[in-house]
A and B are shown apart, each in its own frame.
Chain A
Amino acid sequence: MADLMARGEEPEILFWVGCAGAFDDRYKNVTRAFVRILEHLGIKYAVLGLEESCTGDPAKRAGNEFLFQMQAMTNIEVLNGYNIKKIITACPHCFNTIKNEYPSLGGNYEVIHHSTFLQQLINEGKIRVAGGKAFKGKRITFHDSCYLGRANGVYEAPRQVLATLDADLVEMKRSRANGLCCGAGGAQMWKEPEPGKKDINIERTEEALATGATIIASACPFCMTMLSDGVKNKNQEDQVKVFDIAELIASAENLNA
């Protein structure tokens, strides 16, 4: 972003990478896949790079309102400093926080989750998924992220993105508004679960595996981690893969260089 600014240019969109997108080894692939799509389409985008910091979502959900607002206000200062108008992110937690909780602290942006953005590109005919052969007939099930679905009502965009792959899309027993959490929200990602019969991600993975899908599609870094762990726990990692919708599109467009 700083580079663009120095050249006196303004990006169409700011891609908010998020901490998982920047640091999580598995999720870095999603970041790269999404960036390849942006590059491929020649969309003028920027990232904050080293100036990006955690949105504060995990702190807020854990009850640390003070730390959350500290993060939020610092980020808002940076974003407003660059006169950012439109933000795209692949993380539903960043998406929810910037979209819903930043405005009351002075951060007003058009915030779009990458699933909605990809759907728009498909609708505009910019992404054509080269014949859709790569996934033809493959059984895919989509896992709703709570912070995308129930929290913000985005249920159809990721499904429509997947529909362009011409795959066999199957729904889990609990989906859309009735979807089951992956177990990582509310800052659970950073702590051991409370004692119980079972871990939540195992329960959800069992439900996903019961569909017979060989690909579990997700649109959230936390869900991806939890479901991948679940698949490993069930020793199914050779047969069943967890992919982000951006990775599936990039792969269908042969952008996985």
Chain B
Amino acid sequence: MISNLLFLIITVLAVGLFVWQIQKIRRNINLGREKEISDDASERLNKLLLVAFGQQKMFKRPWPAILHGIVYVGFVVINIEVLEIIIDGIFGTHRALSFLGPIYTGLMAINELLAFLVIIACIIFLIRRNVTKVPRLTRGPEMRAWPRLDANIILLTEIILMLALFSFNTADIKLHVLDGRELAGSFPISGLLVNSLSTTNVSSLEALRSSGWWLHILGIFAFLNYLPSSKHFHIIMAFPNVYYSKLEPKGKFTTNQSITHEIKALLDPSYQVPPLPEGTEPQKFGAKDVEDLSWKQLMDAYTCTECGRCTDVCPANITGKLLSPRKIVMDTRDRMEEKGEHPAIFRPNHYQEQVKQRVKVTEEKTLLRGYVTPEELWACTTCNACVEACPVNIDQLSSIMEMRRFLVLEESAAPTALNGMFTNIENNGAPWAFSPSDRLNWADNLFVNVK
């Protein structure tokens, strides 16, 4: 009875704490500019099913996709068992879902096999990160101590959670065998493990069973509250982020409406610029800090898995330039947490100090210059390779573009050569310094033979 009550309190606290953390993140995301995204619900649902649930974009690299798929499916199926654990914990029942009969048997079998495969996958992932050191997972100024530790914590926790599950099942089977009863369900892995379990001491078996049970569920609660401070938060954010992703062609960049009004007024003096809504100030052109980005761009930052697929395909990064699309996204998250309210538990994402060692940033406390330098931004070829590569549909390019706009429109801080190009377009109608009157010269002599 006391343990049921204790379990109930822990459950409520864990879920409550998580909800509280989510509210903080929500507020951080709402630091961003408003952006209306409500069109094409059916196309968005389709994307959600394919890209988020179906992990379509993961399959650009088959091996990580298969391993990730195991962990993902394992996570989904094990949630059914978590449901049983919560029912058992609150009501003091034992294996409350066993009334499902053959369905339960199948479920437990699948669960055990997946748990075993998850352990294997996590071990391979650990090897990739720590032994073979896959470059995209370990290199780059943004992959410092914390992101590396974070990844290892996640993988080790998942292994421990699965081992706890096996110790619970194994001890439970053994206790039932000793008792001469049969345990509902089928346990292919624990069934093998039970043979190697020599002890017949009932109290130590009970201790093993309940410690496995508690470790598993407390671990899950702890993990739940670890998520908001971790890249592992993608298991939640991937879904809304994909739903709200850009549906237009990748080459279509946003149009700034206030500039449209200004130019219309310039071209036609009778044009009436619509007044700003009451109480709003004119917006900056482009983005200097997180509040100048849209909420979707900030949501991107909380969705980032730090997998580095964007940086790995970035032509600027490949050829040794400073730009790393992943860094831009991680910078945005770090700055958001600095500026807004931090996730409750801890705020390990700050890494400005370490970044300074490689990237020259100023003391200015804004996203632009405080975290992201103009040199990074100007290296971008806007080729959309990063956007194409991202498994959770982050639009790294749109944030880069907003910051470029700020540099050009608010600070007139474009590289000199680009200012020359602007002048040529203004004066000659071409980015090169040619006379507009020569525009038809290509046709000279062309029709001589024909006509």
A150 interface hit (Cβ, 8 Å): yes
The smallest C-beta distance from A74 to any residue of chain B, in angstroms, reads 8
Instruction: Check A200 against B319 for contact (C-beta < 8 Å).
Output: yes
Q: Which residue of B262, B285, B375, B431 is within 8 Å of A19 (Cβ)?
A: B431
Instruction: Check A50 against B263 for contact (C-beta < 8 Å).
Output: no
Instruction: Check A186 against B321 for contact (C-beta < 8 Å).
Output: no
Instruction: Check B439 against A50 for contact (C-beta < 8 Å).
Output: yes
The smallest C-beta distance from A151 to any residue of chain B, in angstroms, reads 3
Instruction: Check A49 against B440 for contact (C-beta < 8 Å).
Output: yes
A105 interface hit (Cβ, 8 Å): yes
Q: Which residue of B264, B318, B388, B418 is within 8 Å of A73 (Cβ)?
A: B264
Chain A residues contacting B262 (CB-CB under 8 Å) are 66
A17-B442, A190-B417, A203-B318 in contact; A50/B375 too (CB < 8 A)?
Answer: no
Instruction: Check A67 against B313 for contact (C-beta < 8 Å).
Output: no
Q: Of the listed stretches B47-55, B167-175, B378-386, name the one at the interface; the rest are far from the partner chain.
A: B378-386
Chain A residues contacting B439 (CB-CB under 8 Å) are 17, 22-23, 49-50, 52
Chain A residues contacting B316 (CB-CB under 8 Å) are 194, 196, 200
A166 interface hit (Cβ, 8 Å): no
Q: Which residue of B251, B409, B442, B450 is within 8 Å of A63 (Cβ)?
A: B409
Instruction: Check A198 against B319 for contact (C-beta < 8 Å).
Output: yes
Instruction: Check A196 against B430 for contact (C-beta < 8 Å).
Output: no
Chain B residues contacting A73 (CB-CB under 8 Å) are 263-264, 267
Q: How many angstroms between the C-alpha atoms of A82 and B418 in the bound complex?
A: 32
The chain A residue with its CB closest to the CB of B416 is: A191
Residues 124-153 of A, flagged 1 when their CB comes within 8 A of B and 0 if not, give: 000000000000000000000011001111
Instruction: Check A194 against B385 for contact (C-beta < 8 Å).
Output: no
Residues 9-52 of A, flagged 1 when their CB comes within 8 A of B and 0 if not, give: 00000000101011110001001100110010000000101101
Instruction: Check A105 against B255 for contact (C-beta < 8 Å).
Output: yes
Q: Which residue of B255, B383, B414 is within 8 Å of A150 (Cβ)?
A: B383
Instruction: Check A58 against B431 for contact (C-beta < 8 Å).
Output: yes
Chain A residues contacting B388 (CB-CB under 8 Å) are 150, 177-178
Q: Of the listed stretches A96-104, A210-218, A234-242, name the one at the interface; the rest are far from the partner chain.
A: A96-104
> Among residues 46 to 81 in chain A, which have CB atoms less than 8 Å away from a CB atom of chain B?
47, 49-50, 52-54, 56, 58-67, 69-71, 73-74
B212 interface hit (Cβ, 8 Å): no
Q: Which residue of A28, A96, A177, A192 is within 8 Å of B251 (Cβ)?
A: A96
A163 interface hit (Cβ, 8 Å): no
Q: How many angstroms between the C-alpha atoms of A48 and B426 in the bound complex?
A: 18
B192 interface hit (Cβ, 8 Å): no
Q: How many angstroms between the C-alpha atoms of A146 and B443 in the bound complex?
A: 29
Instruction: Check B251 against A62 for contact (C-beta < 8 Å).
Output: no
Chain A residues contacting B430 (CB-CB under 8 Å) are 19, 22-23, 53-54
The chain B residue with its CB closest to the CB of A257 is: B449
Instruction: Check A199 against B319 for contact (C-beta < 8 Å).
Output: yes
Q: How many angstroms between the C-alpha atoms of A59 and B414 in the bound complex?
A: 11
Chain B residues contacting A230 (CB-CB under 8 Å) are none
Instruction: Check B315 against A62 for contact (C-beta < 8 Å).
Output: no
A180-B385, A185-B383 in contact; A100/B414 too (CB < 8 A)?
Answer: no
Q: Which residue of B251, B401, B421, B429 is within 8 Å of A147 (Cβ)?
A: B251
A17-B442, A194-B316 in contact; A62/B404 too (CB < 8 A)?
Answer: yes
Instruction: Check A65 against B442 for contact (C-beta < 8 Å).
Output: no
Instruction: Check A65 against B405 for contact (C-beta < 8 Å).
Output: yes
B308 interface hit (Cβ, 8 Å): no
Instruction: Check A190 against B319 for contact (C-beta < 8 Å).
Output: no
The smallest C-beta distance from B270 to any residue of chain A, in angstroms, reads 15
> Among residues 395 to 430 in chain B, which have CB atoms less than 8 Å away from a CB atom of chain A?
401, 404-409, 414-415, 417-418, 420-422, 425-426, 429-430
Instruction: Check A21 against B418 for contact (C-beta < 8 Å).
Output: no
> Among residues 82 to 130 in chain A, which have CB atoms less than 8 Å away from a CB atom of chain B?
96, 99-101, 104-105
Q: Which residue of A31, A64, A151, A181 is within 8 Å of B414 (Cβ)?
A: A64
The chain B residue with its CB closest to the CB of A28 is: B442
B256 interface hit (Cβ, 8 Å): yes
B253 interface hit (Cβ, 8 Å): yes
Chain A residues contacting B318 (CB-CB under 8 Å) are 180, 200, 203
Instruction: Check A21 against B421 for contact (C-beta < 8 Å).
Output: no
Chain A residues contacting B418 (CB-CB under 8 Å) are 62, 187, 190-191
A164 interface hit (Cβ, 8 Å): no
Q: Which residue of A17, A52, A185, A192 is within 8 Å of B417 (Cβ)?
A: A192
A62-B404, A62-B422, A65-B409 in contact; A183/B321 too (CB < 8 A)?
Answer: no
A7 interface hit (Cβ, 8 Å): no
Instruction: Check A62 against B408 for contact (C-beta < 8 Å).
Output: yes
A188 interface hit (Cβ, 8 Å): yes
Q: How many angstroms between the C-alpha atoms of A69 and B323 in the bound complex?
A: 28
A252 interface hit (Cβ, 8 Å): no
Instruction: Check A196 against B409 for contact (C-beta < 8 Å).
Output: no
Instruction: Check A101 against B259 for contact (C-beta < 8 Å).
Output: no
The smallest C-beta distance from B124 to any residue of chain A, in angstroms, reads 24
B438 interface hit (Cβ, 8 Å): yes
Q: How many angstroms between the C-alpha atoms of A58 and B431 in the bound complex?
A: 7
Instruction: Check A150 against B322 for contact (C-beta < 8 Å).
Output: no
B60 interface hit (Cβ, 8 Å): yes
A58-B421, A200-B315 in contact; A65/B259 too (CB < 8 A)?
Answer: yes
Chain A residues contacting B253 (CB-CB under 8 Å) are 60-61, 101
B436 interface hit (Cβ, 8 Å): yes
The chain A residue with its CB closest to the CB of B421 is: A190
Q: How many angstroms between the C-alpha atoms of A54 and B425 in the bound complex?
A: 7
Q: How many angstroms between the C-alpha atoms of A59 and B417 in the bound complex?
A: 12
The smallest C-beta distance from A90 to any residue of chain B, in angstroms, reads 12
The chain A residue with its CB closest to the CB of B266 is: A70
Q: How many angstroms between the C-alpha atoms of A153 and B401 in the bound complex?
A: 21
Chain B residues contacting A231 (CB-CB under 8 Å) are none
3 smallest beta-carbon distances between A and B, as pairs:
A151-B251, A197-B320, A186-B382
A-B contact pairs, 22 of them (CB 8 A): A19-B434, A22-B440, A23-B430, A35-B443, A53-B429, A56-B425, A63-B404, A64-B414, A65-B256, A100-B252, A101-B253, A146-B382, A181-B381, A181-B383, A183-B381, A188-B381, A190-B431, A191-B421, A194-B378, A195-B321, A200-B315, A200-B318
Chain A residues proximal to chain B, CB less than 8 Å: 17, 19, 21-24, 28, 31-32, 35-36, 39, 47, 49-50, 52-54, 56, 58-67, 69-71, 73-74, 96, 99-101, 104-105, 146-147, 150-153, 177-181, 183-200, 202-204, 257
